[in-house]
């Protein structure tokens, strides 16, 4: 990690209150330990990437309007993970306008971006108990992470990271290529 990236992390940590610092510092440390590098985005998010794949973005309250009384929001990619708790399932069930448009463009997962043809999709149970699948390409916004969620979050990061390593070793294209394809074909 270079000096600019160290400065980016330090700058972000200064924005956190004590409780959020205790929650997110172990997450940041673990991402760095796994080899993810921090990047500051135009939207003032702290984004962690490795091999061209984004695993997690963090936004603090000074960068976004307050949504659910939480000061920090993560946008996390965990589509390679087999099981996850309710807080992560709820994040999958919420669809942004961009995702609705994307779903309309592709009409079904069978005609999606190509990433979904791999065996990694998000899944959750709807209110009727039906299993619903969503495209595994994107990160999902999660506003209500607490200290109780951190052990699970770290396990999910590890599981997703192992999948990214598998993708890298198989020479399949990175997420960036799929995102570029989608933007060109809107």
Report CA torsion sign: 167, 173, 179, 182: negative
Residue 185 pLDDT? 46
CA-to-CA distance for 172 and 170, rounded, in angstroms? Answer: 6
Domain that holds residue 144: 3-163+170-179
Cβ atoms of 47 and 57 within 8 Å: the answer is yes
Q: Is residue 167 exposed (0-12), middle (13-18) or buried (19+ Cβ within 10 Å)?
A: buried
- Give 75's contacts (C-beta < 8 A, 6+ positions apart): 45, 56, 57, 58, 59, 139, 140, 141, 142
Residue 98 phi, psi (nearest 5): -60, -40
List the pLDDT tens digit at each of the 186 positions of the chain: 788 888 888 888 887 878 888 888 999 999 999 999 998 877 668 899 998 888 888 887 555 554 444 467 888 888 888 888 888 888 887 766 556 666 666 555 555 665 555 556 777 777 888 877 777 777 888 877 889 999 999 999 999 999 888 888 876 555 554 445 444 544
CA-to-CA distance for 145 and 92, rounded, in angstroms? Answer: 14
Residue 90 pLDDT? 83
Dihedral, CA atoms, 123, 127, 130, 132, nearest 10 degrees?
Answer: -30
Within a domain: 18:
yes
**Secondary structure class of 123 (helix, strand, coil):** strand
Within a domain: 186:
no
Residue 174 pLDDT? 54
From 44, 39, 71, select the one nearest 143 (Cα to Cα).
71
Residue 45 pLDDT? 81
Number of domains in the chain: 1
Within a domain: 97:
yes
Within a domain: 134:
yes
CA-to-CA distance for 49 and 111, rounded, in angstroms? Answer: 27
Within a domain: 185:
no
Q: How far is CA 156 from CA 31, 89, 161, in A?
A: 12, 13, 8
Within a domain: 114:
yes
**DSSP class of residue 30?**
H
């Amino acid at each position: 990690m270079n000096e600019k990236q160290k400065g980016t992390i330090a700058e972000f940590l200064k924005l956190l209150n004590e409780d959020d610092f205790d929650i997110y510092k172990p997450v940041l440390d673990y991402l760095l330990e796994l080899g993810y590098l921090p990047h500051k985005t135009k939207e003032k998010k702290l984004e962690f990437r490795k091999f061209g794949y984004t695993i997690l973005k963090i936004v603090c309250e000074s960068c976004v309007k307050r949504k659910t009384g939480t000061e920090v929001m993560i946008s996390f990619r965990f589509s390679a993970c087999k099981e996850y708790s309710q807080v992560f399932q709820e994040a999958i069930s919420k669809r942004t306008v961009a995702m609705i448009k994307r779903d309309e463009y592709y009409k079904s997962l069978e005609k999606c971006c190509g990433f979904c043809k791999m065996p990694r999709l998000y899944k959750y149970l709807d209110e009727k108990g039906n299993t619903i699948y969503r495209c595994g390409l994107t990160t999902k916004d999660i506003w209500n992470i607490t200290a109780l969620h951190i052990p699970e979050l770290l396990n999910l990061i590890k599981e997703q990271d192992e999948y990214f390593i598998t993708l890298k070793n198989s020479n399949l294209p990175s997420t960036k290529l799929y995102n570029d394809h989608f933007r060109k074909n809107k």
